[in-house]
């Protein structure tokens, strides 16, 4: 096996991957789906259908004329029941289209394999597929692929790290759709003329390393094992681990000649070029002690968490917290009627394993946060200056570089809410009016 | 399909949603466990007198902490066990024959003056135990340097460092093995090198401390006393310097105090080398036989400065 690589600092997390050996189960489409008009970073979509309109599987229901955006499609056939506005889990009011399914799952006429002969057509097709980063961030993929000067990129990194506990949806993709992962990586490499293709996998997933290495034989793709360390799946950490390059502060992966794409995202590209079916379904890991039958479920985008949990056998104890995503960076939901979004890779219904939220005690200056921070920041000082609202000092200690991975908070013996207070500090800086002119 | 009824509201809080088991209390208890072998050996060699001093120091530190926090109207803090560590550490750096009231006064200085008046745990500018020991050394110079031969109660004896200072008495140096085990004159918990090293290994294994401060502190002292300690360059006796006096206790347990040591590795190394330098200078050229407490105290006060000049470079920063 190849020499394992990793990045500097970071945290060691417990290896909880209960659902790693639960093959994907397909959940039938529910009677109604609630589809938000924004499921990506960028401009929200405008609905292109009205109440009462007929809709089919794979049909565009929302789109935007803005560049950084991705169209939204229906995952069921039926009719538009109504337009509404919901308060999302991250605190925004977003318009939603509620679609009543007729149970037929009739596929729309436009769903056919796209014709892609060159890079331009390829990027257009990716945009039309509605694809966004499926690892959790939800950044429109066509924007990442449409580089101003593609010749500068020499390395494509496929992110199969999945460093958060619980989540196994990318792991299942590697096992169940190995061919599409390899094919998708090759396709991107060909269209963007990228010489180095690397798939990065942590060594706590030996099966994934094994099966991908086997499949990559005879191709240009290298499967690189990584020493398990959180947050290796963060773009900047993964680039550093695999290539030794450091993305400059405030910069993008393309600044150091790399593109990073999630493994399920890459696999989807191969599937889409084959079938033309846009992103209307995805695999979600459902786990947590409160869930009766944890597992990996393929679910139509817009299905509510309530229905998804019910499909998993319901709950066995009182749910304390419902998290969209992993326990380190996921967002706690205020109710279970939120819809599953394109970028949701996990739903965790945590019960007794969660414990009570810890009480904050005074900082003892042990320096654990400093030695764990993958961005080499001083969370202890960011916490202090955020609470003091000292914006000048926050900038001096590079608060905007924080990726909010939670390594500092996880390791804090005084149980301080470091990330929470750093987020507050970031918000204060963003709210500050931009200084005009020179000095 | 199952129906899900949810009566209770969900908990909403900022990520991360899981925490490591580590806590301030756990760290402090680990320090107590690590100090235990040396403390027990101290009691074994110095008798009930030592046991009494240790007990008095711990009880009065906890009591002072409780009262001071009550007066400051702050949440109760004795549960974090930091006052126990201060009491034990202070007791271990006292001579076994010290009058009890002096020890209690030391505890008052440590907890009330040095720790609580500056804002409690995490806010003290010097290590409370070190500060109190220096206070007692200056205030009661005679009592703080009167040593008794282990096993007896009357005969006063000289410590190895005092013997080394007084070149004519070299023949009276205790056996190296006795020094290693702690069967010599000295403070309660400072004399047994082996017990202190064991404690240090425990703290390293529990990741309570990192190796940087002890290794660089001891290394600096060893090098400087070897180079400058004897009659001519590189004729000194670094081994005796390493295991004599309060160096091991200081390097492993006092200089590694979180609050009063730098937060970065680079800062910790600068701090430790500084401690070693000051200790060696006092031991070799100063009027006092021992300089560990003074050197740590001195370097404690430089920590804010060191922290300011060792801010790590942000990832991808210029």
> Omega into B13 within 30° of 0, i.e. cis?
no
How close B50 comes to chain A (CA, Å)? 30
Residue B303: closest C-alpha in chain A: A365
The pLDDT value given to residue A438:
45
Q: What is the pLDDT of residues A148-166, one digit of tens each?
A: 765 589 999 999 999 999 9
The pLDDT value given to residue B115:
96
Q: What is the CATH number of the domain that holds B64?
A: 1.10.3430
Say yes or no: A253 and A395 in one domain. no
Task: Please answer yes or no on whether A332 and B13 come within 8 Å at the CB atom.
Answer: yes
State pTM to two decimals.
0.90
Q: What is the DSSP letter of A14?
A: -
Task: Please answer yes or no on whether B122 and A365 come within 8 Å at the CB atom.
Answer: yes
Task: Please answer yes or no on whether B312 and A329 come within 8 Å at the CB atom.
Answer: no
Backbone angles phi, psi at A60, to 5 degrees: -70, 130
Q: What is the pLDDT of residues B298-314, one digit of tens each?
A: 999 999 999 999 999 99
Say yes or no: A381 and A259 in one domain. no
Q: Across the strands, what pairs with A126?
A: none
Residues in contact with A285: Cβ distance below 8 Å, sequence separation at least 6, in sequence order: A19, A166, A167, A168, A169, A294, A295, A296, A345, A346, A347
Q: What is the DSSP letter of A320?
A: -
The pLDDT value given to residue B309:
94
Q: Are B242 and B226 in contact (CB under 8 A)?
A: no
Of A253, A275, A297, the position where a domain reaches its end is A275
* CA A111 remoteness from chain centre: 25
Average confidence score pLDDT of chain A: 93
Task: Please answer yes or no on whether A367 and B120 come within 8 Å at the CB atom.
Answer: no
Q: Are A41 and A317 in contact (CB under 8 A)?
A: no
Q: What is the mean pLDDT of residues A363-389?
A: 96
Handedness of CA A408, A410, A412, A416 (dihedral sign): positive
Q: Which of B13, B4, B18, B11 is nearest to A320 (CA)?
A: B11
Q: Which residue has the higher pLDDT, A142 or B288?
A: A142
Q: Are B10 and A331 in contact (CB under 8 A)?
A: no
d(CA B186, CA B245): 7
Q: Which of B5, B15, B24, B76 is most worth mutating to test chain A (most A CB atoms within 10 A of its CB)?
A: B15
| Model confidence at B56: pLDDT above 70 | yes
d(CA A235, CA A268): 19
Q: What is the pLDDT of residues B184-210, one digit of tens each?
A: 778 888 878 899 999 999 999 999 999
Instruction: Name the pairing type of β-strands B156-157 and B147-148.
Output: antiparallel
d(CA B301, CA B306): 10
Of A255, A275, A295, the position where a domain reaches its end is A275
Handedness of CA B121, B122, B123, B128 (dihedral sign): positive
**Residue A420 maps to a domain:** yes
Q: What is the pLDDT of residues A31-80, one digit of tens each?
A: 999 999 999 999 999 999 999 999 999 999 999 999 999 999 999 999 99
Which of B15, B258, B315 minimises the CB distance to A364?
Answer: B258
d(CA A215, CA A231): 27
Q: What is the pLDDT of residues A268-282, one digit of tens each?
A: 999 999 999 999 999
The pLDDT value given to residue A151:
59
Q: Which residue has the higher pLDDT, A29 or B141?
A: A29
**Residue A150 maps to a domain:** yes
How close B243 comes to chain A (CA, Å)? 27
d(CA B161, CA B180): 14
| Model confidence at B173: pLDDT above 80 | no
Task: Please answer yes or no on whether B3 and A310 come within 8 Å at the CB atom.
Answer: yes
Alpha helices in A169-295 (DSSP H): 169-176, 178-192, 206-216, 235-243, 263-275
Q: What is the mean pLDDT of residues A290-294?
A: 94
Band of the pLDDT at B289, cuts 50, 70, 90? confident
Residue A310: closest C-alpha in chain B: B2
Q: What is the pLDDT of residues B4-35, one digit of tens each?
A: 766 678 889 999 999 999 999 999 999 999 99
Q: What is the pLDDT of residues A294-327, one digit of tens each?
A: 999 999 999 999 999 999 999 998 899 999 999 9
Partners of residue B124 in chain A, C-beta under 8 Å: none
Average confidence score pLDDT of chain B: 88
Task: Please answer yes or no on whether A354 and B311 come within 8 Å at the CB atom.
Answer: no
d(CA A362, CA A130): 47
Which of A327, A331, A412 minimises the CB distance to B18?
Answer: A327
How close A194 comes to chain B (CA, Å)? 24
Band of the pLDDT at B166, cuts 50, 70, 90? low
Instruction: Name the pairing type of β-strands A281-287 and A295-300.
Output: antiparallel
Q: What is the mean pLDDT of residues B226-253?
A: 88
Residue B314: closest C-alpha in chain A: A376
Quote ipTM for the complex.
0.90
**Residue B7 maps to a domain:** no
Which of A165, A329, A366 minimises the CB distance to B15?
Answer: A329
Q: Which of A178, A185, A175, A170 is nearest to A136 (CA)?
A: A170
**Chain B residues bordering chain A (beta-carbon distance below 8 Å):** 1-4, 6, 8-20, 22-24, 26-27, 80, 82, 120-123, 258-259, 262-265, 311-318
Q: What is the pLDDT of residues A93-141, one digit of tens each?
A: 999 999 999 999 999 999 999 999 899 999 999 999 999 999 888 899 9
How close A101 comes to chain B (CA, Å)? 17
Band of the pLDDT at B144, cuts 50, 70, 90? confident
Say yes or no: A271 and A138 in one domain. yes
Q: Residue B95's domain spans which residues?
A: 24-309
Say yes or no: A136 and A259 in one domain. yes
Task: Please answer yes or no on whether B312 and A336 come within 8 Å at the CB atom.
Answer: no
Say yes or no: A404 and A257 in one domain. no
Partners of residue A319 in chain B, C-beta under 8 Å: 6, 10
Say yes or no: A267 and A372 in one domain. no
The pLDDT value given to residue B248:
94
Question: Residue A93: which H helix or E strand, with range?
Answer: strand A93-101
Band of the pLDDT at A91, cuts 50, 70, 90? confident
Say yes or no: A257 and A397 in one domain. no
Q: Are A72 and A39 in contact (CB under 8 A)?
A: yes
Residue A52's Cβ-count burial label (10 Å; 0-12, 13-18, 19+) is: exposed
Band of the pLDDT at B168, cuts 50, 70, 90? very low
Partners of residue B22 in chain A, C-beta under 8 Å: 368, 411, 413
**Residue A398 maps to a domain:** yes
The pLDDT value given to residue B172:
58
Say yes or no: A135 and A255 in one domain. yes
How close A249 comes to chain B (CA, Å)? 5
Partners of residue A14 in chain B, C-beta under 8 Å: 18
How close B227 comes to chain A (CA, Å)? 34
For chain A, how many structural domains are there in total? Answer: 2
Task: Please answer yes or no on whether B315 and A376 come within 8 Å at the CB atom.
Answer: yes
Q: Which of B6, B18, B80, B115 is most worth mutating to test chain A (most A CB atoms within 10 A of its CB)?
A: B18
Q: Which residue has the tokens 């030996």?
A: A206
Band of the pLDDT at A181, cuts 50, 70, 90? very high
For chain B, how many structural domains are there in total? Answer: 1
Which of A321, A362, A378 minimises the CB distance to B312?
Answer: A378
Q: Residue A265's domain spans which residues?
A: 119-275
Task: Please answer yes or no on whether B17 and A327 come within 8 Å at the CB atom.
Answer: yes
Of A254, A275, A296, the position where a domain reaches its end is A275
Q: What is the CATH number of the domain that holds A208?
A: 3.40.50.11540
Q: Across the strands, what pairs with A285?
A: A296, A346
Partners of residue B13 in chain A, C-beta under 8 Å: 321, 332, 357, 420
How close B161 comes to chain A (CA, Å)? 33
Q: What is the pLDDT of residues A10-39, one digit of tens each?
A: 999 999 999 999 999 999 999 999 999 999
The pLDDT value given to residue A90:
82
| Cα distances (angstroms) measured from residue B10 to each of A291, A333, A403 | 15, 7, 26
3 state DSSP class of A214: helix
**Residue A309 maps to a domain:** no
Q: SS3 for chain B, per residue?
A: CCCCCCCCCCCCCCCCCCCCCCCHHHHHHHHHHHHHHHHHHHHHHHCHHHHHHHHHHHHHHHHHHHHHHHHCCCCCCHHHCHHHHHHHHHHHCCCCCCCHHHHHHHHHHHHHHHHHHHCCCCCCCCCHHHHHHHHHHHHCHHHHCCEECCCCCCCEECCHHHHHHCHHHHHHCCCHHHHHHCCCCCCCCCCCHHHHHHHHHHHHHCCCCCCHHHHHHHHHHHHHHHHHCCCCCCCCCHHHHHHCCCHHHHHHHHCCCCCCCCCCHHHHHHHHHHHHHHHHHHHHHCCCCCCHHHHHHHHHHHHHHHHHHCCCCCCCCC
**Residue B317 maps to a domain:** no
Q: What is the mean pLDDT of residues B248-257?
A: 96
Q: Which of B1, B4, B16, B74 is most worth mutating to test chain A (most A CB atoms within 10 A of its CB)?
A: B16
| Model confidence at B154: pLDDT above 60 | no
């Amino acid at each position: 096996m190849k020499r394992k690589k990793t990045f500097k600092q970071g945290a060691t997390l417990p290896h909880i991957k209960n659902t790693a050996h639960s093959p994907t189960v397909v959940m039938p489409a529910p009677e109604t789906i609630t589809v938000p008009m924004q499921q990506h970073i960028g401009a929200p979509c405008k609905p292109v259908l009205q109440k009462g309109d007929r809709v089919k599987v794979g049909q565009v229901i929302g789109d935007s004329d803005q560049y950084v955006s991705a169209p939204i499609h229906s995952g069921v056939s039926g009719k538009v029941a109504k337009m509404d506005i919901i308060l999302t889990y991250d605190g925004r009011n977003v318009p939603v289209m509620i679609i009543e399914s007729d149970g037929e799952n009739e596929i729309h006429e436009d769903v056919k394999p796209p014709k892609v002969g060159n890079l331009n057509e390829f990027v257009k097709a990716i945009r039309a597929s509605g694809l966004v980063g499926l690892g959790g961030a939800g950044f429109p993929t066509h924007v990442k692929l449409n580089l101003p000067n593609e010749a500068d990129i020499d390395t494509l990194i496929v992110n199969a790290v999945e460093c958060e506990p619980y989540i196994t949806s990318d792991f299942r993709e590697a096992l169940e759709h190995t061919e599409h992962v390899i094919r998708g990586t090759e396709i991107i490499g060909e269209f963007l003329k990228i010489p180095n293709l690397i798939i990065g996998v942590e060594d706590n997933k030996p099966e994934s390393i094994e099966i991908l290495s086997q499949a990559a034989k005879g191709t240009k793709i290298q499967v690189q094992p990584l020493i398990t360390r959180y947050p290796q799946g963060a773009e900047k950490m993964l680039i550093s681990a695999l290539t030794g390059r450091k993305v400059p502060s405030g910069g993008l992966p393309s600044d150091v000649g790399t593109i990073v794409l999630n493994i399920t995202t890459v696999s989807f590209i191969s599937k889409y070029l084959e079938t033309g079916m846009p992103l209307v379904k995805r695999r979600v890991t459902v786990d947590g002690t409160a869930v009766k039958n944890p597992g990996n479920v393929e679910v139509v985008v817009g299905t509510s968490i309530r229905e998804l949990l019910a499909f998993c056998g319901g709950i066995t104890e009182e749910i304390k917290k419902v998290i969209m995503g992993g326990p380190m960076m996921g967002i706690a939901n205020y109710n279970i009627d939120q819809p599953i979004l394109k970028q949701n890779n996990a739903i965790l219904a945590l019960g007794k394993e969660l414990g009570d939220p810890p009480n904050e005690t005074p900082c003892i200056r042990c320096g654990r946060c400093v030695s764990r921070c993958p961005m080499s920041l001083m969370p202890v000082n960011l916490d202090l200056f955020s609470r003091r609202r000292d914006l000048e000092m926050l900038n001096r200690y590079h608060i905007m570089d924080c990726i909010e991975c939670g390594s500092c908070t996880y390791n804090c013996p005084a149980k301080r809410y470091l990330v929470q207070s750093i987020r507050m500090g970031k918000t204060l800086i963003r709210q500050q009016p931009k200084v005009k002119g020179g000095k | 399909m199952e129906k899900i009824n949810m009566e209770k509201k969900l908990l909403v809080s900022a990520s991360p949603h899981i925490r490591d088991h580590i806590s301030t209390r756990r760290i402090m208890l680990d320090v107590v466990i690590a100090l235990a072998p040396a403390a027990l050996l101290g009691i074994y060699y110095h008798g009930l007198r030592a046991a009494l001093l240790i007990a008095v120091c711990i009880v009065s530190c906890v009591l002072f902490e409780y009262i001071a926090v009550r007066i400051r109207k702050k949440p109760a803090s004795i549960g974090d066990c930091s006052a126990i560590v201060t009491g034990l550490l202070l007791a271990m750096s006292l001579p076994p024959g010290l009058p009890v009231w002096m020890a209690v006064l030391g505890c008052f200085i440590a907890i009330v003056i040095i720790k609580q008046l500056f804002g409690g745990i995490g806010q003290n500018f010097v290590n409370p135990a070190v500060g109190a020991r220096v206070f007692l050394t200056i205030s009661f110079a005679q009592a703080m340097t009167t040593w008794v031969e282990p096993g007896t109660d009357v005969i006063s004896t000289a410590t190895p460092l005092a013997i080394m200072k007084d070149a004519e008495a070299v023949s009276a140096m205790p056996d190296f093995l006795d020094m290693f085990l702690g069967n010599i004159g000295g403070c309660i918990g400072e004399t047994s090198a082996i017990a202190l090293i064991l404690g240090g290994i425990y703290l390293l294994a529990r990741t309570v401390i990192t190796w940087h401060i002890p290794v660089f502190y001891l290394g600096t002292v060893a090098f400087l006393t070897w180079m400058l300690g004897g009659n001519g360059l590189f004729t000194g006796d670094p081994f005796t310097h390493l295991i004599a006096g309060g160096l091991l206790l200081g390097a492993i347990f006092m200089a590694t105090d979180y609050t009063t040591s730098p937060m970065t590795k680079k800062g910790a190394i600068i701090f430790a080398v500084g401690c070693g330098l000051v200790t060696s200078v006092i031991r070799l050229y100063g009027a006092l036989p021992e300089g560990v407490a003074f050197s740590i105290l001195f370097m404690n006060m430089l920590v804010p400065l060191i922290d300011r000049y060792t801010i790590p470079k942000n990832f991808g920063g210029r």
